[in-house]
């Protein structure tokens, strides 16, 4: 997933600490000058480790942008009848059949475009024959909730999304 694994980065830093520390000491504060480089080598290792760690963040962010750019679309008319009904309820402001309809959706999966907390709200799409809320949802973002900027449909409980287009 990352060009440099965090585990291997941790191991490299630990090895650098061990090489730079005096014999029998694991405390980096007692580093002394040694033929293997001593404090200079230790500090170079720490700097290299920090640089590598900071390089991981932009790569992960770029991958998230790539995923979001690939969200498929679906026409509202192609959605199941129950999803179309839920969409109309969203536009009219309810009433919604489930108490959790309209609650904030946290986007923990990070499959939708990044937004501030509270931007997305989730709504249940009834699933015929299901005794609970089922896996189908519509997630909408923007204010006011009755005029969302964009809505997304999932039929697999947030594992994938399709942007709803008119």
Catalytic residue among 78, 91, 149, 157: 157
Residue 157 among the catalytic residues: yes
Q: Alpha-carbon distance 123 to 103, whole Å?
A: 8
Closest CA to 126 of 146, 94, 155: 155
Number of H helices, E strands in the chain: 3, 6
Angle formed by the axes of helices 6-20 and 38-69, nearest 10°: 170
Instruction: Please check whether residue 84 is in contact with residue 148, taking contact to mean a CB–CB distance below 8 angstroms.
Output: no
Judge whether 91 counts as a catalytic residue: no
Q: Which residues are catalytic?
A: 122, 157
């Amino acid at each position: 997933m990352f060009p440099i694994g965090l585990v291997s980065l941790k191991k490299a830093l630990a090895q650098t600490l061990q090489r730079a520390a005096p014999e029998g000491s694991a405390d980096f504060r007692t580093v002394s000058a040694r033929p293997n480089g001593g404090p200079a080598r230790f500090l170079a290792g720490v700097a290299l480790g920090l640089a590598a760690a900071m390089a991981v963040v932009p790569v992960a962010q770029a991958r998230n942008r790539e995923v979001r750019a690939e969200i498929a679309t679906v026409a509202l008319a192609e959605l199941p009848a129950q999803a179309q009904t839920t969409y109309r309820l969203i536009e009219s402001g309810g009433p919604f059949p489930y108490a959790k309809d309209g609650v904030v959706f946290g986007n923990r999966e990070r499959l939708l475009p990044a937004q501030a907390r509270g931007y997305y709200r989730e709504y249940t799409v009834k699933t015929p024959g299901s005794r609970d809320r089922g896996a189908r949802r519509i997630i909408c973002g923007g204010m006011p909730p009755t005029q969302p900027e964009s809505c997304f449909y999932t039929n697999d409980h947030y594992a994938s999304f399709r942007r709803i287009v008119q």
